[in-house]
């Protein structure tokens, strides 16, 4: 089975489907943006603030439901800044739960491989008493930084695919 491309930043001309969502939705003060690198990759940068009970910055992509039957892992080619990030998926935009996997970046280009069955259900930062991700479709992917401290960050993303 070939891989299922979710998004390839370097080959996509239109990124308008990606949107920044920070803790300002609940009164926080974090800020972030998505820009294009010279190589054509996405560069997600900003500053996480703990003011006003804030503490996260994220960028998300919503799309028509995609059948992911037969795929067992997400593979993301990226270059971080040595900090920890979350990759999140939702089977449906109507779900409250996000299924998350936290990964550490090395400061170099790397391919993060995330077994879908190990992604844990959370809502507003709290783990839910539900089974891990087992859906046959996805409708959202998101990258989030929220390490419980005020910090600046930089995450460069090339592509996201399922295998």
Q: Whose CA is closest to 44, among 90, 77, 79, 82?
A: 79
- Per the DSSP assignment, residues forming a β-bridge with 145 are 57
Rounded to whole angstroms, how far apart are CA atoms 18 and 59?
7
In order of their start, the domains of the chain are 4-162 (2.60.120.430)
Q: Report pTM.
A: 0.96
Residues found in the chain: 163
Tokens of 106: 């090395």
pLDDT above 70 coverage of the chain, percent: 99
What pLDDT band is residue 29 in, cutting at 50, 70 and 90? Answer: very high
Average pLDDT over residues 18-36: 95
b/e for 134-147, b at 16 or more Cβ within 10 A? Answer: ebeebbbbbbbbbe
Sign of the C-alpha dihedral, residues 130, 131, 135, 138? positive
**Within a 10 A sphere around the Cβ of 81, how many other Cβ atoms?**
16
Asked if residues 23 and 30 have their Cβ atoms less than 8 Å apart, the reply is yes
pLDDT tens sequence across 131-161: 999 999 999 999 999 999 999 999 999 999 9
């Amino acid at each position: 089975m070939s891989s299922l491309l979710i998004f390839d930043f370097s080959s996509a001309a239109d990124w308008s489907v990606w949107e920044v969502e920070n803790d300002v939705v609940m009164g926080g003060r974090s800020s972030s943006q998505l820009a294009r690198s010279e190589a054509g990759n996405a560069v997600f940068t900003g500053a996480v603030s703990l003011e006003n009970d804030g503490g996260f910055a994220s960028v998300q992509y919503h799309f028509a439901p995609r059948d992911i039957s037969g795929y067992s892992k997400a593979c993301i080619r990226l270059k971080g800044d040595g900090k920890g990030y979350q990759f999140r998926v939702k089977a449906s935009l109507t779900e409250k739960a996000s299924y998350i996997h936290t990964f550490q970046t090395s400061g170099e280009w790397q391919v993060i491989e995330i077994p879908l069955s190990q992604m844990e259900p959370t809502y507003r930062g709290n783990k839910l008493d539900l089974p891990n991700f087992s859906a046959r479709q996805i409708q959202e992917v998101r990258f989030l930084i929220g390490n419980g401290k005020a910090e600046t960050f930089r995450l460069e993303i090339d592509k996201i695919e399922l295998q």
